[in-house]
Amino acid sequence: MTVVSDYLHVGSGEYSVEVLKPISDVDKLVDQALKGDIPNEVNNFFSQEMYLMNHYEGKTVIPGSTIKGMVRTRLELAIPGSCYIVDSRGSNYSPRYKSIFKPEHKKSDRFDPEDYPNVCPVCNLLGNSGLASRVNFSDFVSSDKTDVIKISNVGYEVAKKGARFSGKVVYNSLSKEELGMLFYGFGIRVQNGRVLSKVQLLGRFKYEDKRFGRVTFSIGAVNSSDVISSIQAFQTKYRPRDFKEDW
């Protein structure tokens, strides 16, 4: 995966705050607070919060669950007859999201075996609460250095343009159409007999700030002719919609 926007932030859910004053001063501040006397200059003791990305052994990590969610969302929106498990309808979608994906009303946002004896193709590939996934996604890892930028005076750790993340996708007993479906969810397309990678939106601020959240994926271990035939078989069977995400 390659970052093609200026920045990418996929948050860890954690943030850091730097202590700006000597520890002795902070101890005095704590003592004052315990006595019910909190000074007005308390903000001067600490930096603004900075939201972090995931890290492991010095490398930046995007969880495999995040990548899987991105793939699943695209497929649920693209394939007629699929249910919305990840991307269920709601009133909190941004106008940008609606203009890009134009989400359609689905029969259900949950899989009910009594009402739907045939499992939707996305659930059959990626699983649901009662069905095991046949595809496993590793974490995507990068050795490239990150940076910190501020938005509304809040810091965000970001991967920069050109950063590359590598990961593995392990699948079991997929038909040609299902393999093509998986490629399609990663934004892999076929045009004039060539394999292309379209821009996918990922991470924070992707609908609010054009500097953020644009990535492309490439495939390392599959022959291009197999990729082409799989995607064509998938498109022939399912007639998926497509989206221009690089707004």
Report pLDDT digits (tens) over 210-230. 999 999 999 987 889 999 999
Determine contact, residues 213/96, Cβ cutoff 8 Å. no
Average pLDDT rounded to a whole number, residues 129-148: 95
Where are the domains positioned within the chain?
Answer: 2-36+46-238
| Percent of the chain at pLDDT exceeding 90 | 65
- 166/89 Cα distance (integer angstroms): 31
Torsion 157-139-137-198 (CA) sign: positive
* DSSP 8-state assignment for residue 48: P
User: CB within 8 A of 16, min separation 6: which ones?
Assistant: 49, 50, 52
pLDDT, position 2: 98
User: In this model, does residue 84 exceed pLDDT 80?
Assistant: no
Rg (CA), the chain: 22
User: In this model, does residue 103 exceed pLDDT 80?
Assistant: yes
- 200-201, strands of its sheet edge to edge: 2-3, 214-216, 200-201
Q: What is the mean pLDDT of the chain?
A: 87
- 162/30 Cα distance (integer angstroms): 44
- 182/231 Cα distance (integer angstroms): 9
Report pLDDT digits (tens) over 11-61. 988 766 666 556 566 576 667 777 666 665 655 665 567 899 999 999 999
pLDDT, position 222: 84
pLDDT, position 19: 61
Helix (H, G, I), strand (E, B) or coil at 157: strand
Cα 91 to Cα 15, 97, 103, 195, distances in angstroms: 29, 12, 12, 36
